[in-house]
Each structure stands twice: as C-alpha cells, then as structure tokens.
Amino acid sequence: MHLDRTNPEGAIAAAAKRCSNWGRWGEDDVLGTLNFLDDAKRREGATLVKRGVSFSLAQSFDTDGPQNGWRRRTNPVHTMLDTGLDAERGTQGFPHGFGGADDVVFMPLQASTQWDGLGHIFDHGRAWNGRRAGDVVTSEGDRVTGIETAAGRIAGRGVLLDVGRVLGDDGELPDGFAITTEHLEATIAAHGETARVGRGDLLLVRTGRLTRARREGWGGYAGGPSPGLSFTTADWLHDTEVAAIATDTWGFEVRPNEFDDAFQPLHQVAIPHIGLYLGELWDLDALAADCAEDGRYEFWLTADPLPVTGAVGAPVAPIAIK
C-alpha cells in the first residue's frame, strides 16, 4: 500500500473507515476485539500446553526501567512501610512476637509491561464505538471502557511472530524498520503452521528492540526511534480478527512514524476504530528462543491486566506456557 507521507489526516480517515468495528457488537459494547476471544478459543489455547514449560513475558517493575519522563511517565518507585528491622525492634504493635513487612509502589500504569485499554486513544474526540471522548474518560477515569472490563478475559491461544529473527541481523530489526503485512506473512511462512494467525488469537510480535536496549542501555527505548508495525498493517489487523497484539517495543508501531508530521497514527486507527487492545514493553526474548528451538510458535497465554477501575491502561505480568 502506498502512503502519501504528506497526508496523515487523509490516510488515518480512510483506514478508520475501512477498518471500523463501530456497532459490530452493539452500541453498548465495551470489549472491542476481545469479543473474538470466546470460550472455544480459550479451550483451543489450553490444548497447546505440551511440555509445561512457562515463560514470564514481563519486564521488571523497578527504578532501573525504560521510562525517561516523557509525558510525566516515570519508572516505578517502591517504598517499604514496615520492615524486618521494625519487627526486630518490636515497634509494630503486634502481640506475641508477631511481625511483618508491608510496602507500597508508585508508578504510572504504563511504566512497564502493560496493555493499552480502549479509553487510551481517541480520534477527533471520539473513543471506541463512536462515543464522545469526554463522555468516556473524565477526571474520574474511564467510566465506560475502563481496563477492569477486560478482567478474566485475556487468556487463550498465543502466537509469536519473531520478525526480528526472520528478517533482522542477529535477530534484531533496526530502528525505523516498518513491519508490513508482507513481512508478517513472510514470518508466518518461515515459522510454519503453528504460526498461523486468526480470529481470537493473542498475537505477539518480536522486533529485537528490547534485546538491544538491554545490551546498549535504555537510551531512546521509551519514545525514541524503533522498529514496529507499519501503518499499512491496519487492514491486516482488522481482517485477521486477532483479539489483541503486543510487542517488545515502547510504542507498538514504527518510529519515526511513516508520515512527515504525525504521532502514532496506527494507534489512532487500532484503538478507537478497530477496538484493539495493544500491549507494549513485553519481554519476548526467552519465549522466542524456545520457539526457535522446538519449532512451535503457538502456546497458552494468560495476560490479564491489573483491574484498576477506570484505568485506560494497566500493568500486566503475562505468562506463556508451552
């Protein structure tokens, strides 16, 4: 698909019209493409556990994280409220020698491995399913499609497309590499039948960007140049009917974006129009290595967001089991 770099507004409007799922599940829908992930799809995913080996797909939640302060996003700050020292000194006020430890964490909900919910991005003041953005997200949070609406739902057949390993040098794509539909299909062909992608799947796309960040330092990992999905994949994401997609990058789509003057245009179509959950900052390296070794790119994946009422995004600790 040819992109006119000078006309992001037109490209976004055209893609939004082609890929819109508004009204598909009724005017009151709050789940978007998670509607594709039904009980049958979860049963299918459960049958994929063969060896019982599990992989955490979460980055650490600590001060040594990727955030650099952009839009006031900071790394998590962890503080103890009660410690072993307090227990030793008997200052906690408990009887018969009882002691304990408690702690608290402060962080933006998208500081590390996370889901973008359906209230995260708007298009010309419209949220998912055509609602007015101001009616959806207020000072009280997302009162319609808050992340808690996904609780208990994001578990099923996961599929990894290791584009970095198939198309990159040493398993990594360079910054600015726009992953097109052709690249995705080539990766599926290289991986084989277990990498087929279809309705209700939870799709993971590895670029190798996190691998490089760990080797060279965070640098511009958060908000800077990165490989990622091309804007032209909007139709593919819509037509394959995946339930959700996650990547090992900060922003899911290629950066710099493919237009002369644009900011995250694929987000602007995928979330408010397709109704697609986007996962970012996922750690796919260990899983990818195992998939390359055994040739199986499908697995059971559970990735429920922390159900913070009214949140437009939330941390997640995904687990893939093969």
pTM of the model: 0.97
Strand partners, 103: 80
d(CA 280, CA 116): 8
Neighbours of 83 (CB within 10 A): 15
pLDDT digit string, tens, across residues 52-63: 999 999 999 999
pLDDT digit string, tens, across residues 270-291: 999 999 999 999 999 999 999 9
At 190 the pLDDT is 98
- In whole numbers, what is the pLDDT of the chain averaged over residues? 97
Cβ atoms of 91 and 97 closer than 8 Å? no
Q: State yes or no: pLDDT of 77 exceeds 90.
A: yes
CB contact set of 180 (below 8 Å; sequence gap of 6+): 230, 232, 233
Mean pLDDT of 222-244: 98
At 70 the pLDDT is 85
Give the DSSP H or E segment for 266.
helix 265-269
Ordered by where they begin, the domains of the chain are 8-70+108-321 (3.50.30.50), 77-106 (no CATH)
